[in-house]
């Protein structure tokens, strides 16, 4: 028995990645450090450790807590497309 699959089309400009735009939004809203933002996120009821939150802010986390995303959207009063941005990584040659 053979299974036929359609060939996967690779993106022409490299692979797509998402990143959080937290550092830019922090600057726009007067947050001078992660700790101040972290304390405000905790006030919303989100449950996250400082080290995990720091990894999220620095785009070093592989997972996102939706309660944290919701808190950031509300604190920054922004759309999800302002918080989460798509980037392209160049393909190796």
pLDDT per residue as tens digits for the range 71-86:
999 999 999 999 999 9
- Report residue 93's pLDDT band, with 50, 70 and 90 as the boundaries: low
Burial class (CB in 10 A: 0-12, 13-18, 19+), 42: middle
Distance of CA 43 to the CA centre of its chain: 20
DSSP characters over 13-37 = T-EEEEEE-HHHHHHHTT--SHHHH
pLDDT tens for each residue of 47-59: 999 999 999 999 9
Per-residue model confidence as pLDDT tens digits over 19-43? 999 999 999 999 999 999 999 999 9
pLDDT computed for residue 10 by the predictor = 46
Give the span between the Cα atoms of 86 and 16, in whole angstroms: 7
d(CA 73, CA 79): 7
**Structural domains present in the chain:** 15-89 (1.10.260)
């Amino acid at each position: 028995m053979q299974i036929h699959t359609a060939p996967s089309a690779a993106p022409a400009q490299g692979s797509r990645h998402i990143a959080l735009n937290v550092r830019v939004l922090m600057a726009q809203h007067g947050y001078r450090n992660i700790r101040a933002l972290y304390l405000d996120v905790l006030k919303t009821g989100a449950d996250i450790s400082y080290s995990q939150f720091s990894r999220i802010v620095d785009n070093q986390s592989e997972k996102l807590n939706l309660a944290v995303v919701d808190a950031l959207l509300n604190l920054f009063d922004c759309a999800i497309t302002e918080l989460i941005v798509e980037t392209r990584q160049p393909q190796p040659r």
